Chain A
Amino acid sequence: MNVTALIDVVFLLIVFFMLVNNIVSEENTPLVPPRLDDAKTVALEDENRIIVNVVPQPFDIARRRPGVDPLNHPGEAAHVRVGINPKRYDLDALDEVTTLLANAHANNPELQVVLRADAAIYFEDIRKVMSAIHAAEIQRVSLTAFLNDDEMTLNDAGGVLP
Protein backbone atom coordinates (compact mmCIF):
# COMPACT_ATOMS: atom_id res chain seq x y z
CA MET A 1 0.00 0.00 0.00
CA ASN A 2 1.35 3.44 -0.96
CA VAL A 3 0.96 5.69 2.09
CA THR A 4 3.00 8.62 0.81
CA ALA A 5 0.03 10.88 0.13
CA LEU A 6 -1.52 10.00 3.49
CA ILE A 7 1.67 10.97 5.31
CA ASP A 8 1.85 14.24 3.36
CA VAL A 9 -1.65 15.20 4.44
CA VAL A 10 -1.09 14.18 8.05
CA PHE A 11 2.12 16.22 8.23
CA LEU A 12 0.31 19.27 6.87
CA LEU A 13 -2.39 18.88 9.53
CA ILE A 14 0.25 18.61 12.24
CA VAL A 15 2.02 21.74 11.03
CA PHE A 16 -1.31 23.61 10.88
CA PHE A 17 -2.29 22.74 14.43
CA MET A 18 1.19 23.53 15.77
CA LEU A 19 1.15 27.00 14.23
CA VAL A 20 -2.45 27.89 15.11
CA ASN A 21 -2.12 26.61 18.65
CA ASN A 22 0.92 28.80 19.35
CA ILE A 23 -0.54 31.97 17.85
CA VAL A 24 -3.73 31.76 19.84
CA SER A 25 -2.23 30.78 23.17
CA GLU A 26 0.35 33.56 23.18
CA GLU A 27 -2.05 36.50 23.13
CA ASN A 28 -5.43 35.27 24.25
CA THR A 29 -5.86 33.93 27.73
CA PRO A 30 -8.86 31.59 28.01
CA LEU A 31 -11.90 33.55 29.16
CA VAL A 32 -15.53 34.11 28.16
CA PRO A 33 -16.02 37.55 26.57
CA PRO A 34 -19.35 39.36 26.98
CA ARG A 35 -22.14 38.39 24.59
CA LEU A 36 -24.12 41.51 23.60
CA ASP A 37 -27.64 42.14 22.37
CA ASP A 38 -27.41 43.50 18.82
CA ALA A 39 -23.63 43.71 19.08
CA LYS A 40 -21.89 46.53 17.24
CA THR A 41 -18.47 44.91 17.51
CA VAL A 42 -16.11 44.88 14.54
CA ALA A 43 -13.16 42.70 13.58
CA LEU A 44 -9.93 43.42 15.42
CA GLU A 45 -7.01 45.09 13.62
CA ASP A 46 -3.80 43.10 13.65
CA GLU A 47 -1.38 46.01 13.95
CA ASN A 48 -0.66 48.68 16.58
CA ARG A 49 -2.43 46.91 19.36
CA ILE A 50 -1.63 45.41 22.72
CA ILE A 51 -4.08 43.10 24.45
CA VAL A 52 -4.72 43.47 28.18
CA ASN A 53 -6.45 40.37 29.54
CA VAL A 54 -8.46 40.56 32.77
CA VAL A 55 -8.44 36.90 33.69
CA PRO A 56 -11.24 35.29 35.75
CA GLN A 57 -10.93 32.62 38.42
CA PRO A 58 -10.27 29.15 36.93
CA PHE A 59 -13.38 27.68 35.32
CA ASP A 60 -14.73 24.72 33.38
CA ILE A 61 -15.67 25.99 29.92
CA ALA A 62 -18.46 23.41 29.57
CA ARG A 63 -20.33 25.04 32.47
CA ARG A 64 -20.21 28.53 30.95
CA ARG A 65 -21.36 27.98 27.41
CA PRO A 66 -24.21 30.14 26.03
CA GLY A 67 -27.49 28.87 27.43
CA VAL A 68 -25.85 27.65 30.64
CA ASP A 69 -25.42 31.22 31.98
CA PRO A 70 -21.80 32.24 31.42
CA LEU A 71 -22.15 34.81 34.23
CA ASN A 72 -22.58 32.10 36.84
CA HIS A 73 -18.99 32.42 38.05
CA PRO A 74 -17.17 34.34 40.81
CA GLY A 75 -16.86 38.00 39.84
CA GLU A 76 -13.43 38.65 41.35
CA ALA A 77 -10.70 38.73 38.71
CA ALA A 78 -7.72 36.42 39.26
CA HIS A 79 -5.01 38.52 37.64
CA VAL A 80 -4.07 40.63 34.62
CA ARG A 81 -1.92 39.61 31.65
CA VAL A 82 -0.49 41.97 29.05
CA GLY A 83 0.18 40.89 25.45
CA ILE A 84 2.28 37.76 25.04
CA ASN A 85 4.01 38.39 28.34
CA PRO A 86 3.31 35.33 30.55
CA LYS A 87 3.69 37.38 33.75
CA ARG A 88 0.58 37.67 35.94
CA TYR A 89 -0.11 41.06 37.50
CA ASP A 90 -2.13 41.41 40.68
CA LEU A 91 -5.09 43.76 40.46
CA ASP A 92 -3.98 45.71 43.50
CA ALA A 93 -0.52 46.36 42.05
CA LEU A 94 -0.99 47.52 38.49
CA ASP A 95 1.78 50.14 38.49
CA GLU A 96 3.95 47.75 36.53
CA VAL A 97 1.23 47.43 33.88
CA THR A 98 1.02 51.20 33.63
CA THR A 99 4.80 51.45 33.13
CA LEU A 100 4.78 48.67 30.55
CA LEU A 101 1.95 50.30 28.58
CA ALA A 102 3.48 53.75 28.82
CA ASN A 103 6.77 52.45 27.40
CA ALA A 104 4.97 50.65 24.59
CA HIS A 105 2.99 53.80 23.83
CA ALA A 106 6.16 55.90 23.80
CA ASN A 107 7.65 53.55 21.20
CA ASN A 108 4.46 53.52 19.14
CA PRO A 109 2.13 56.54 19.49
CA GLU A 110 -0.46 54.77 17.31
CA LEU A 111 -0.75 51.98 19.85
CA GLN A 112 -4.25 51.05 20.99
CA VAL A 113 -5.10 48.91 23.98
CA VAL A 114 -7.55 46.05 23.59
CA LEU A 115 -9.18 45.47 26.97
CA ARG A 116 -10.23 41.83 26.98
CA ALA A 117 -12.15 40.89 30.10
CA ASP A 118 -14.32 37.98 31.16
CA ALA A 119 -18.08 38.64 31.06
CA ALA A 120 -18.58 37.64 34.70
CA ILE A 121 -16.01 39.98 36.25
CA TYR A 122 -17.22 42.81 38.50
CA PHE A 123 -17.01 46.34 37.13
CA GLU A 124 -14.98 47.31 40.19
CA ASP A 125 -12.07 45.15 38.96
CA ILE A 126 -12.40 46.36 35.37
CA ARG A 127 -12.27 49.95 36.62
CA LYS A 128 -8.88 49.30 38.23
CA VAL A 129 -7.47 48.11 34.91
CA MET A 130 -9.06 51.05 33.09
CA SER A 131 -7.39 53.40 35.56
CA ALA A 132 -4.02 51.73 34.93
CA ILE A 133 -4.47 52.20 31.17
CA HIS A 134 -5.57 55.76 31.73
CA ALA A 135 -2.49 56.42 33.87
CA ALA A 136 -0.34 55.35 30.91
CA GLU A 137 -1.98 58.17 28.97
CA ILE A 138 -3.33 55.88 26.30
CA GLN A 139 -6.64 57.06 24.89
CA ARG A 140 -7.35 54.51 22.21
CA VAL A 141 -9.03 51.61 24.00
CA SER A 142 -11.11 48.85 22.47
CA LEU A 143 -13.40 46.67 24.55
CA THR A 144 -13.69 43.03 23.56
CA ALA A 145 -17.00 41.22 23.12
CA PHE A 146 -18.39 38.52 20.87
CA LEU A 147 -19.18 39.61 17.35
CA ASN A 148 -22.80 39.73 16.29
CA ASP A 149 -24.17 36.19 15.85
CA ASP A 150 -25.03 36.90 12.23
CA GLU A 151 -21.42 37.72 11.43
CA MET A 152 -19.73 34.85 13.20
CA THR A 153 -17.02 33.35 11.00
CA LEU A 154 -13.58 31.94 11.57
CA ASN A 155 -12.07 34.94 9.85
CA ASP A 156 -13.50 37.26 12.48
CA ALA A 157 -11.43 35.78 15.28
CA GLY A 158 -9.78 38.52 17.29
CA GLY A 159 -11.34 41.40 15.32
CA VAL A 160 -12.90 44.84 16.22
CA LEU A 161 -16.07 47.09 15.79
CA PRO A 162 -16.36 50.60 14.19
Chain B
Amino acid sequence: MSLANRVKQRREAATDPKATSNRMQLNLTSMIDVIFQLLIYFVITASFALNEGVLKAELPTGNQPVSLTLALPKQPLEVELDALEPTGVRIRVANQTVAGFPALQQLLIDYQFNLEHPAGRRRGSLAVDNPIVIAPTTTVRWQHVLNAYNAALAAEYTNVQFREPR
Protein backbone atom coordinates (compact mmCIF):
# COMPACT_ATOMS: atom_id res chain seq x y z
CA MET B 1 0.00 0.00 0.00
CA SER B 2 1.30 3.37 -0.95
CA LEU B 3 2.01 6.06 1.61
CA ALA B 4 -0.77 8.25 0.21
CA ASN B 5 -3.32 5.49 0.72
CA ARG B 6 -2.22 4.87 4.31
CA VAL B 7 -2.58 8.56 5.11
CA LYS B 8 -6.01 8.62 3.55
CA GLN B 9 -7.08 5.58 5.60
CA ARG B 10 -5.94 7.18 8.83
CA ARG B 11 -7.83 10.38 8.10
CA GLU B 12 -10.98 8.44 7.38
CA ALA B 13 -10.57 6.49 10.63
CA ALA B 14 -10.08 9.69 12.62
CA THR B 15 -13.29 11.24 11.29
CA ASP B 16 -15.36 8.11 11.52
CA PRO B 17 -17.99 8.52 14.31
CA LYS B 18 -17.90 4.81 15.08
CA ALA B 19 -14.14 4.94 15.56
CA THR B 20 -14.18 8.01 17.86
CA SER B 21 -17.12 6.94 20.02
CA ASN B 22 -14.94 4.47 21.87
CA ARG B 23 -12.60 7.15 23.25
CA MET B 24 -12.90 8.01 26.98
CA GLN B 25 -13.92 11.60 27.75
CA LEU B 26 -14.49 13.30 31.10
CA ASN B 27 -17.78 15.19 31.20
CA LEU B 28 -17.12 18.33 33.26
CA THR B 29 -20.39 20.11 32.63
CA SER B 30 -22.09 19.39 35.94
CA MET B 31 -18.93 20.12 37.96
CA ILE B 32 -18.53 23.48 36.27
CA ASP B 33 -22.19 24.20 37.03
CA VAL B 34 -21.62 23.50 40.71
CA ILE B 35 -18.40 25.53 40.80
CA PHE B 36 -20.09 28.54 39.25
CA GLN B 37 -22.92 28.26 41.77
CA LEU B 38 -20.34 28.30 44.59
CA LEU B 39 -18.52 31.22 43.01
CA ILE B 40 -21.71 33.26 42.68
CA TYR B 41 -22.62 32.47 46.31
CA PHE B 42 -19.31 33.69 47.68
CA VAL B 43 -19.21 36.76 45.44
CA ILE B 44 -22.66 37.79 46.64
CA THR B 45 -22.18 37.05 50.33
CA ALA B 46 -18.66 38.46 50.68
CA SER B 47 -18.46 41.65 52.70
CA PHE B 48 -15.49 43.88 53.29
CA ALA B 49 -14.67 46.27 56.12
CA LEU B 50 -13.11 49.09 54.17
CA ASN B 51 -11.54 52.38 55.01
CA GLU B 52 -11.85 52.29 58.75
CA GLY B 53 -9.27 53.77 61.09
CA VAL B 54 -9.20 54.73 64.75
CA LEU B 55 -8.47 57.74 66.93
CA LYS B 56 -6.27 56.68 69.82
CA ALA B 57 -7.37 57.67 73.31
CA GLU B 58 -6.49 56.89 76.91
CA LEU B 59 -9.02 56.49 79.67
CA PRO B 60 -8.09 57.66 83.17
CA THR B 61 -6.86 55.11 85.71
CA GLY B 62 -8.65 54.19 88.94
CA ASN B 63 -11.90 52.47 89.89
CA GLN B 64 -14.19 55.47 90.27
CA PRO B 65 -16.57 56.64 87.56
CA VAL B 66 -14.88 58.63 84.83
CA SER B 67 -16.41 61.96 85.74
CA LEU B 68 -15.37 61.80 89.37
CA THR B 69 -11.76 60.89 88.72
CA LEU B 70 -11.17 63.77 86.35
CA ALA B 71 -9.69 66.59 88.34
CA LEU B 72 -9.89 69.22 85.65
CA PRO B 73 -6.97 71.61 85.46
CA LYS B 74 -7.41 75.34 85.81
CA GLN B 75 -8.33 76.24 82.25
CA PRO B 76 -10.15 73.37 80.61
CA LEU B 77 -11.79 74.42 77.38
CA GLU B 78 -15.23 72.89 77.10
CA VAL B 79 -16.71 72.00 73.71
CA GLU B 80 -20.45 71.65 74.29
CA LEU B 81 -22.45 69.49 71.90
CA ASP B 82 -26.24 69.74 71.96
CA ALA B 83 -28.44 67.38 69.98
CA LEU B 84 -30.70 68.98 67.39
CA GLU B 85 -33.65 67.08 65.93
CA PRO B 86 -33.53 64.81 64.10
CA THR B 87 -29.82 64.04 63.80
CA GLY B 88 -28.04 67.39 63.93
CA VAL B 89 -25.79 69.01 66.49
CA ARG B 90 -25.06 72.48 67.85
CA ILE B 91 -21.48 73.21 68.81
CA ARG B 92 -20.65 75.82 71.43
CA VAL B 93 -17.33 76.94 72.83
CA ALA B 94 -17.25 79.54 75.60
CA ASN B 95 -20.96 80.22 75.02
CA GLN B 96 -20.37 80.99 71.35
CA THR B 97 -21.94 78.88 68.64
CA VAL B 98 -19.51 77.38 66.13
CA ALA B 99 -20.62 76.82 62.54
CA GLY B 100 -19.22 73.30 62.07
CA PHE B 101 -16.36 70.98 62.85
CA PRO B 102 -13.87 72.56 60.42
CA ALA B 103 -14.65 75.90 62.12
CA LEU B 104 -14.20 74.25 65.52
CA GLN B 105 -10.79 72.97 64.45
CA GLN B 106 -9.78 76.44 63.29
CA LEU B 107 -11.06 78.00 66.53
CA LEU B 108 -9.02 75.54 68.60
CA ILE B 109 -5.95 76.36 66.51
CA ASP B 110 -6.56 80.07 67.12
CA TYR B 111 -6.78 79.44 70.87
CA GLN B 112 -3.47 77.54 70.96
CA PHE B 113 -0.15 78.92 72.11
CA ASN B 114 2.74 77.26 70.32
CA LEU B 115 5.56 79.41 69.00
CA GLU B 116 7.42 76.42 67.58
CA HIS B 117 4.70 75.03 65.37
CA PRO B 118 6.16 74.13 61.94
CA ALA B 119 3.24 75.74 60.08
CA GLY B 120 3.73 79.07 61.86
CA ARG B 121 3.53 80.54 65.33
CA ARG B 122 0.28 80.10 67.21
CA ARG B 123 -0.34 83.01 69.55
CA GLY B 124 -3.40 81.90 71.51
CA SER B 125 -3.56 81.36 75.24
CA LEU B 126 -3.90 77.58 75.61
CA ALA B 127 -0.93 75.22 75.83
CA VAL B 128 -0.99 72.12 73.65
CA ASP B 129 -1.54 69.99 76.77
CA ASN B 130 -4.37 72.18 78.03
CA PRO B 131 -7.45 69.99 78.60
CA ILE B 132 -10.05 70.11 75.85
CA VAL B 133 -13.25 68.64 77.27
CA ILE B 134 -15.86 67.25 74.88
CA ALA B 135 -19.20 67.69 76.66
CA PRO B 136 -22.13 66.14 74.75
CA THR B 137 -25.72 65.73 75.84
CA THR B 138 -27.04 62.16 76.12
CA THR B 139 -28.64 62.02 72.68
CA VAL B 140 -25.84 63.48 70.59
CA ARG B 141 -24.87 61.03 67.87
CA TRP B 142 -21.50 59.30 68.17
CA GLN B 143 -20.36 60.71 64.82
CA HIS B 144 -20.64 64.28 66.16
CA VAL B 145 -18.79 63.40 69.36
CA LEU B 146 -16.00 61.75 67.42
CA ASN B 147 -15.88 64.68 65.00
CA ALA B 148 -15.28 67.06 67.91
CA TYR B 149 -12.59 64.76 69.28
CA ASN B 150 -11.00 64.59 65.82
CA ALA B 151 -11.05 68.40 65.53
CA ALA B 152 -9.14 68.72 68.81
CA LEU B 153 -6.59 66.14 67.66
CA ALA B 154 -6.27 67.88 64.30
CA ALA B 155 -5.54 71.12 66.15
CA GLU B 156 -2.76 69.12 67.84
CA TYR B 157 -4.00 69.22 71.42
CA THR B 158 -2.63 66.31 73.44
CA ASN B 159 -5.11 66.22 76.33
CA VAL B 160 -8.63 65.67 75.03
CA GLN B 161 -11.27 64.28 77.37
CA PHE B 162 -14.90 63.24 77.35
CA ARG B 163 -17.25 64.52 80.02
CA GLU B 164 -20.23 62.68 81.45
CA PRO B 165 -23.34 63.42 79.33
CA ARG B 166 -25.21 66.50 80.43
Q: Which residues of A contact B (CB under 8 A)?
A: 3, 6-7, 10-11, 13-14, 17-18, 20-21, 24-25, 28, 30, 33-44, 54, 69-72, 75, 114, 116-124, 126-127, 130-131, 133-135, 137-148, 152-154, 156-162
Contacts and interface: CB of A to CB of B under 8 A. Distances in A.
A33 B52 contact: yes
Interface string B59-83: 1110101100000000000000100
A40 B51 contact: no
Main DSSP-derived SS at the B contact region: mixed
B28 interface: yes
B102 interface: yes
Nearest to A27: B49
Contacts of B47: 21, 24-25, 30
Contact of B49 (A135, A152, A157): A157
Interface stretch (B10-18, B113-121, B125-133, B141-149): B141-149
A26 to B, nearest CB: 11
Given A17-B43, A117-B142, A43 B53 contact: yes
A123 B165 contact: yes
B165 to A, nearest CB: 5
12 contacts: A10-B39, A25-B47, A75-B139, A116-B52, A130-B66, A134-B60, A142-B55, A143-B146, A143-B149, A157-B50, A159-B52, A161-B56
Contacts of A35: 143
A35 B35 CA distance: 39
